[in-house]
Amino acid sequence: MDERYKTLKAHGDHLFTKRQPLLSLWQEMADNFYVERADFTVSRSLGYEFADHLMTSFPLMARRDLGNSFSAMLRRDQWFKLRAKQENREDSTPAKEWLEWATGVQYRAMYDRNSLFIKATKEGDHDYAAFGQCVISVRLNRLQNGLLYRNWHLRDVVWCEDEEGKVNTIHRNWKPCCRDLARLFPKTVAQQVRDRLEKEPYHEVNCRHIVIPSDSYEGKWKTPYVSIYLDCENDTILEETGQWTKEYVIPRWQTVSGSQYAYSPATVAALPDARLIQMMTRVLLEAGEKATNPPMVAVQEAIRGDVAIYAGGITWVDAQYDERLGEVLRPLSQDKTGIPTGLNMRDDIKMTIVDAFYLNKLNLPEIAGATAYEISQRVQEYIRQALPIFAPMESDYNGALCEETFDLLMRNGAFGPADNIPDEIRGADVEFRFESPLNAAIEKEKGQHFQEAATLLASAMQIDPTVQVDLDVREAFRDAVSGIGAPAKWLRDEKEADAMLEEQKQVQQAQALAQTISAGAGIAQQVGEAEKSLNEASVA
C-alpha cells in the first residue's frame, strides 16, 4: 500500500476518532429506545437479553411505532412517480405514459425479493427514528443482474461534508470473513487471507470502503466519484474504481450547524422522560409489591423458625407466648395513598413521550359528517402538524433513494434504449413525486378547490352570466384530475383534445348551415306558395 492510500486511511481514522464521543450518546439513546441496536460502545454475544435493565418497555414501543409509521405513511402502494423537472416537458400523453411505465419498471426492480429493499429500509427507518440518520447503500448485486440495498451500522460509518454542506466523502469499516473476501476480490485478495481459507474460512478481516469525489483524489477519473476497498489488516488495495453514483444514501433528520451528524428530535426530547419513567416504574413496582405483600413485624423470641409469608405458609409460634403482649406476627402498617398519585404522574410522562415521538400527529383527522369547509380546515391542520416529520424524509430519504436507484438503472439499460424515450423528456432531469398521505392530502386539495370554484361560479352566473369567461374551466379541470392521482390515460393529450374540439365546432357549424339552408328553403317555399295563391285569387 503506497503513501497515497495510507494518507487516505489516516484521514478516515481521524474522522472515526473525532466521532468517538458521539458513540456514547448513541449508546445511551439505544439503551433507552432501541436496545437491539445498543452495541455502539459495548460488544454483545448471541443470546444477550436486550432489555433486562429496563423496568418498562414504553419508550421502546414509542420508537417502534414511529419507525414503523415511516414505511406505512411514506412507502405504501406505488408511492413514487417520475416526472420531468422542467415545466411543460411532460405535457404530452406519450411523455406521461413513458414516465408511468418507467415508474413501474423502477418499482419492480426496487421491490424484487433479492434486492432486500424492504429489509434495508426497515432497519434504516428505526435508525432514523432513534438517531436521526441512517446509512443505506444502493448498488448492483454481485452478479450484476439486480439491485442490492444494505443498511449499515452507524457505528461503522463516518462522513464529512463539502463546502455546500452536502455529504461527499464516506468511510465505512467492514469485517467480511475470509471466504466472502476471497469471493468478492479473487484477484487482489492478500496472500494471508488465502492461507486462512482452508482452516479459518470465517475469520473476520478488518477492511474499509471509501467513496471520495474524484476531484479530491489523484488520478484522471472521468466519473464523479472513486470507490476504494482496502484490506487494513494486511495493507492491501482490493479495488479502486470510478463510479457515477455516490452509492451511499445518508438521510439526516435534524442537523445543527457545525456538525455533519444529525439528531432525532424525538429521542432528544424524550430521553430525560425515558430515564424518569424507568425510575418511576421501579418505585411503583416496589410500592405495589409492598402493598400486596407487606413486610411483617414479628416477636423474635416467640417465632420458631422462619416466617412463612408465601401462600399457604404456616409460621410456628411458641405455645408459652402470652398474646396479651401483642400479636406474634402482624403486617407493618403502610400509607398507600401515594400509589394513585404515582400512577397519574407516570401516565403524564407517557403522554409526554407520545408527544415527543409525534405519535399523536400521525393519523388523518376525522372528517365523517363534516362540511367541505371543515374538511379543508382539518386537512390543513394535519398538514401543518405532519409536515415537519415527513418533509425531510421525502426529500433526503425517499427522494435520495429513488434518484440513486434511477441513475443506477438508467446507466445499466433497465429502461431500454435512449431512443425509446419521447422527445419531450429526452435529456431532461427527472424528479420524483411521492404518494404519501401527506402529499395526497395536499394534491387532493386541488379537487376540493375546483369544486369550490365551480360552486362559486354557478352562484355568480345567476347574477351575471358573463362571469363564466373569467374561469378557465378546462385548465382547472385537467389540473384537478391530475391532482387527485388519476392515471395519465384518463386525460387526452391537449393537442388531441383541441383537434376534437375543432372537429366538433366544424360539425356544429355544418349543422347550423344546414339548418339555415333548410330554413331558407322552407321560407322560399312558403313565399312561392303565397305568391301562387295571390295569382290564383287575382285570376278568379
pLDDT digits (tens, 9 = 90+) for 431-449: 776 665 556 655 666 666 6
Q: What nine digits make up the cell of 478? A: 385537467
Find which of 80-84, 109-113, 358-362 is predicted with most confidence, using mean pLDDT.
Answer: 109-113
Closest CA to 91 of 503, 497, 500, 505: 497
Can you give the pLDDT at residue 435? Answer: 64
The Cα 350–Cα 363 span in angstroms is 19
Query: Are the C-beta atoms of 353 and 277 separated by less than 8 Å?
Result: yes
- Write down the mean pLDDT value for the chain: 82
Mean pLDDT of 69-96: 74
What is the chain's Cα-based Rg? Answer: 37
Q: Which residue has the higher pLDDT, 406 or 216?
A: 406
Predicted TM-score (pTM) of the model is 0.77
Closest CA to 285 of 346, 349, 350, 354: 346
What type of residue is 426? R
Q: Is the pLDDT of residue 296 over 60?
A: yes
Which residue in this structure is represented by grid cell 422527445?
423
Burial tier of 305 (Cβ tally within 10 Å: 0-12, 13-18, 19+): exposed
Burial tier of 102 (Cβ tally within 10 Å: 0-12, 13-18, 19+): buried
Can you give the pLDDT at residue 39? Answer: 92
Residues 20-45: tens digit of each pLDDT: 999 999 999 999 999 999 999 998 88
Can you give the pLDDT at residue 351? Answer: 94
Phi-psi region of 429 (alpha: psi -120 to 50; beta: other; left: phi over 0): beta
In degrees and rounded to multiples of 5, residue 416 shows phi and psi of: 80, -175
The Cα 534–Cα 528 span in angstroms is 10
Percentage of the residues of the chain whose pLDDT score is greater than 70 = 73
Q: Is the pLDDT of residue 88 over 70?
A: no
Query: Are the C-beta atoms of 229 and 207 separated by less than 8 Å?
Result: yes
The Cα 66–Cα 128 span in angstroms is 10
Can you give the pLDDT at residue 354? Answer: 92
Closest CA to 142 of 191, 193, 173, 186: 186
Beta bridge partners of 211: 170, 227
31 SS3 class: helix
Q: Is the pLDDT of residue 394 over 60?
A: yes
467 SS3 class: helix
Closest CA to 126 of 270, 21, 253: 253
Find which of 40-49, 259-268, 509-518 is predicted with most confidence, using mean pLDDT.
Answer: 259-268
Can you give the pLDDT at residue 250? Answer: 95
